């Protein structure tokens, strides 16, 4: 089950929550200081963009204006469910095209144009459905499990001897979670880095804790039977959680939503948060890749971000 909410409503929620507080971190403060009055839009503010370096690309004024509209209004169904706008995915898009500029800036449009040209698109710098679906395809291709499932394989779970139970301090609200032992080691390495690099962790110790890891096929089957929606966008029939290589990490939640709510308002809130942005920028160093529909879901694909299990290796080598 999921609750639905429009992006517009979510933006209002974000505006309210940001309006009363001090932006976290010196970088954010510096970025906010450089954002001009004309860019007081909450999405732009959240993207932490120094406008002085993002508004200098000539020839992209029209694309920038259109992108500023489409980030809120574009109709598309990236994961089989209708969505309005692409603000939820804006951090992923920005990372893919190699920019820190806001969607409505000319710098963003120029970076997107470069990405488009490299892939055979007309480099108009506009975030249309074809461009973003192509980008989403690349994000999905980075997950070996997707190819594995496409080839009809549903992997067996690991032996129980290969699993490690995380500590109460690592599980969300003390929850008991098991993951594959090598994944636990990678997660712990990543957490050490996050503690050093992400001040928000000290403010909210629940951030980046694990609320789901290994789930046995029997457990998932029972959950499917109980909750329904199996085989849909929210719950897979053969979940990658059966491998012990998937972690659901706390990346915050919008007021009134749970940490695993796939409601658009919640996903937007999470995707604009510092914890998710840190993961997007850094998790790959530790072998984790994101399922972009769920800001909390990260899959370990091996040290150096290479496919790990023999089955995944097979798929990667095809």
Q: Which is nearer to Zn ion, 90 or 246 (CB)?
A: 246
Q: Which is nearer to Zn ion, 143 or 297 (CB)?
A: 297
Q: Which is nearer to Zn ion, 113 or 240 (CB)?
A: 240
* Binding-site member from 248, 264, 299, 308 for Zn ion (CB under 5 A): 248
Q: Which is nearer to Zn ion, 80 or 120 (CB)?
A: 80
* Least Cβ distance, residue 246 to Zn ion (angstroms): 5
Under DSSP, is residue 84 helix (H, G, I), strand (E, B) or coil?
A: strand
Stretch of 80-88, 166-174, 179-187, 243-251 contacting Zn ion, by CB under 5 A: 243-251
How far is 87 from 68, CA to CA, in rounded Å? Answer: 10
* Binding-site member from 78, 297, 301, 309 for Zn ion (CB under 5 A): 297
Q: Does 41 bind Zn ion (CB under 5 A)?
A: no
Binding residues for Zn ion, total number by CB under 5 A: 2
Q: Which is nearer to Zn ion, 115 or 293 (CB)?
A: 293
Contact 78, 127 (CB under 8 A): no
**Cα–Cα distances in Å, from 121 out to 74, 128, 137, 153, 237?**
19, 11, 15, 33, 35
Under DSSP, is residue 246 helix (H, G, I), strand (E, B) or coil?
A: strand
Q: Does 39 bind Zn ion (CB under 5 A)?
A: no
Stretch of 79-87, 123-131, 136-144, 293-301 contacting Zn ion, by CB under 5 A: 293-301
**R_g of the chain computed on alpha carbons:** 20
* Least Cβ distance, residue 293 to Zn ion (angstroms): 10
| C-alpha of 315 from chain center | 23
How far is 127 from 67, CA to CA, in rounded Å? Answer: 6
Site for Zn ion in 61-100 (CB under 5 A): none
Q: Which residue is nearest to Zn ion (CB)?
A: 297
Stretch of 170-178, 185-193, 269-277, 297-305 contacting Zn ion, by CB under 5 A: 297-305
Stretch of 112-120, 126-134, 170-178, 292-300 contacting Zn ion, by CB under 5 A: 292-300
* Least Cβ distance, residue 179 to Zn ion (angstroms): 11
* Least Cβ distance, residue 298 to Zn ion (angstroms): 8
Phi-psi domain of 268 (left: phi exceeds 0; alpha: psi -120 through 50; beta: other) = alpha
Q: What is the DSSP letter of 170?
A: T
Q: Burial of 284 by CB count in 10 Å (0-12 exposed, 13-18 middle, 19+ buried)?
A: middle
**For the stretch 177-203, what's the b/e string if a residue is b when 16 or more beta carbons lie within 10 angstroms of its beta carbon?**
bbbbebbbebbeebbeebeeebebbee
Contact residues: Zn ion, CB under 5 A: 248, 297
């Amino acid at each position: 089950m999921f609750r639905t909410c429009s992006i517009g409503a979510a933006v209002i929620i974000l505006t309210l929550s940001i309006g009363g507080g001090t932006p976290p971190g010196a970088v954010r403060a510096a970025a906010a200081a450089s954002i001009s009055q004309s860019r007081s839009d909450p999405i732009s503010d959240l993207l932490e963009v120094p406008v002085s370096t993002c508004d200098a690309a000539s020839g992209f004024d029209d694309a920038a204006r259109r992108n500023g509209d489409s980030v809120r209004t574009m109709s598309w169904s990236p994961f089989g469910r209708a969505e309005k706008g692409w603000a939820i995915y804006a951090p992923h898009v920005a990372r893919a095209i190699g920019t820190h500029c806001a969607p409505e800036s000319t710098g963003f449009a120029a970076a997107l144009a470069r990405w488009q040209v490299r892939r055979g698109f007309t480099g108009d710098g506009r975030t249309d459905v074809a461009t973003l679906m192509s980008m989403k395809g690349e994000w999905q291709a980075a997950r070996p499990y997707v190819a594995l499932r496409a080839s009809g394989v549903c992997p067996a779970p690991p032996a129980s001897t290969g699993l490690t139970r995380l500590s109460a301090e690592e599980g969300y609200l003390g929850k008991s979670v098991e993951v594959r032992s090598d994944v636990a080691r990678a997660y712990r390495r990543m957490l050490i880095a996050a503690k050093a690099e992400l001040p928000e962790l000290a403010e909210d110790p629940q951030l980046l804790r694990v609320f789901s890891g290994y789930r046995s096929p029997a457990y998932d089957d029972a959950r499917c039977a109980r909750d329904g929606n199996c085989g849909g966008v929210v719950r897979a029939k053969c979940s990658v959680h059966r491998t012990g290589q998937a972690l659901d990490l706390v990346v915050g939640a919008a007021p009134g939503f749970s940490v695993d709510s796939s409601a658009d308002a919640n996903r937007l809130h999470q995707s604009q948060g510092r914890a998710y942005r840190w993961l997007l920028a850094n998790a790959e160093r530790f072998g984790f890749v994101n399922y972009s529909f769920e800001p909390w879901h990260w899959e370990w694909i091996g040290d150096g971000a290479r496919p790990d299990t023999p089955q995944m290796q097979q798929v990667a080598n095809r």
